Amino acid sequence: MRNLVALVACSFVISTASANDPPNTAPSAAKPVVESVKAASAPAKPVYVPRLSPAAQRAQDEQAEADLAAKIAERLAAMRANQAARVVAASKARKAAEAKRKKAEQTPVVRNGTHWSYEGEQGPANWVNINSEWGKCGTGKRQSPINIRDGMKVDLEPIAFDYKPSSFSVIDNGHTIQVSMAGGNYLTVQNRAFELVEFHFHRPSEERINGKGFEMVVHLAHKDIDGQLAMLALLLERGKQQDLIQTVWNNLPLEKNLPVNPALLLDMNELLPQKREYFTYMGSMTTPPCSEDVLWLVMKQPVQASPAQMALFSRLYPFNARPIQASAGRVIKESN
Ligand SMILES: [Zn+2]
């Protein structure tokens, strides 16, 4: 009977210990059980006189010990199986969490913002973060505007202008005043014809010539039949009133994004400078999405506009110019 008490006590200690053990120590926890069973059975000697014969009593005790040992073994096996299952489940959960984290890392976050500005959180340095399609604004290597200097002076072919009086509409798109032109106005350069789509204004000028900025600039966006852009830049300096700009100002919209369609024609020839020398280089749009492969044609001679005309634009857009971008060794050519 004492054997039995010792065995029960022993099994209680073992099962408590093995239940608290970390999973990887389970096999060693099993070991002492067998030893303990042996140790417990070795010195056993009954101290009272059993009712049964000594042989029968011994047989009964042995049977009880054997039964209990079997139960303990069974219990331990079940605990080990549970622990093994917990280890497998924990490992699976860890792997699943890891796989989820890796997938999240690999899947690019799709951004589809459209609102941008020239200053603050949505300013030029953050354009790249606003929309996933605007990557070039941050990583492009041929961006505009640039400081135009060290141009290669060569005999650049003259730009052939084929502009004619055309109808137009004026819109305040929230970034500038933009004038959309009816079709039929072309410039030809490098044996390619580009059709004028629209023109718009920046203050101050985005481009600089040998470090010098100008009070404003007009960008005339042209597209060829393949959709390639040619951007003609006309620098504006203070001087006499410019009639074509006055016609645009006279027809400024009262509200943003609400176009005005005057019953008038614009003759873009009136805006061109007298001298037609120019700088040329490959760059980009200066607003999102900052697409590259834009052929820039920057006229050397500034066009004059009156201080009152400049002041009027500055009331709407005091500052709408992208900062200078790295020219990164690009070839710049200029008329001799
Ligand atoms: Zn522009």
Amino acid of residue 76: L
User: Distance, CA 286 to ligand 1 centroid (Å)?
Assistant: 6
Strands (E), 224-292: 229-238, 278-283
Residue 265 CA to its chain's centroid (Å): 43
CA of 202 to the centre of ligand 1 (A): 6
- CA–CA separation, 122 vs 12, rounded Å? 69
Contacts of 239 (CB under 8 A, 6+ apart): 304, 305, 306
Per-residue pLDDT reduced to its tens digit, 272-283: 999 999 999 999
Can you tell me the distance from the alpha carbon of 209 to that of 152, in angstroms, rounded to the nearest whole number?
A: 14
On average, the pLDDT of the chain sits at 88
CA 283–ligand 1 middle distance (angstroms): 12
Q: Is the dihedral of CA 211, 217, 223, 227 positive or negative?
A: positive
Gap between the Cα atoms of 121 and 97, Å rounded: 34
pLDDT of residue 52: 77
Instruction: Provide the pLDDT for residue 47.
Output: 64
Give me 244's structure tokens: 């074509």
Kindly report the number of other CB atoms within 10 A of residue 159's CB atom: 20
Q: Is the peptide bond before 289 cis (omega within 30 degrees of 0)?
A: yes
Whether the link from the prior residue into 253 is cis, omega within 30° of 0, is no
Q: Tell me, what's the pLDDT at 45? A: 63
The alpha carbon of 249 and the centre of ligand 1 are apart by a number of angstroms equal to: 18
- The one-character DSSP state at 336 is -
pLDDT surpassing 50 at residue 287 = yes
- pLDDT computed for residue 57 by the predictor: 85
| Burial class for 270, CB neighbours closer than 10 Å (0-12, 13-18, 19+) | middle
Q: How many CA atoms lie within 13 A of 41 on its CB side?
A: 15
d(CA 140, CA 179): 28
At 18-74, the pLDDT tens digits run: 444 444 444 444 444 444 444 445 555 666 655 778 888 888 889 999 999 999 999
Is the Cβ–Cβ distance between 224 and 197 less than 8 Å? Answer: no
Q: Where do the structural domains in the chain lie, given as residue ranges?
A: 2-21+28-41, 144-335
Q: Identify residue 193 by its one-letter amino acid code.
A: A
For the chain, percent of residues with pLDDT exceeding 90: 77
Q: Find the range with the poorest average confidence among 42-56, 117-131, 133-147, 261-275.
A: 42-56
For 294-328, what is each residue's pLDDT tens digit? 999 999 999 999 999 999 999 999 999 999 999 99
Per-residue pLDDT tens over the stretch 44-60: 566 665 577 888 888 88
Number of Cβ within 10 Å of residue 100's Cβ equals 10
Q: What is the mean pLDDT of residues 284-303?
A: 98
Distance in Å, CA 201 to ligand 1 centroid: 6
Q: Given a cut of 70, is residue 77 above it in pLDDT?
A: yes
For 144-335, the fitting CATH number among 3.10.20.600, 3.40.50.300, 3.40.50.720, 3.10.200.10 is 3.10.200.10
Whether 15 has a pLDDT exceeding 70, the answer reads no
SS (H, E, C) 39-72: HHHCCCCCCCCCCCCHHHHHHHHHHHHHHHHHHH
Point out the residues that are catalytic: 175
Residue 174: Cβ within 10 Å count: 12
**177 pLDDT exceeds 90?**
yes
**How do residues 224-270 score in pLDDT, each as one tens digit?**
999 999 999 999 999 999 999 999 999 999 999 999 999 999 999 99
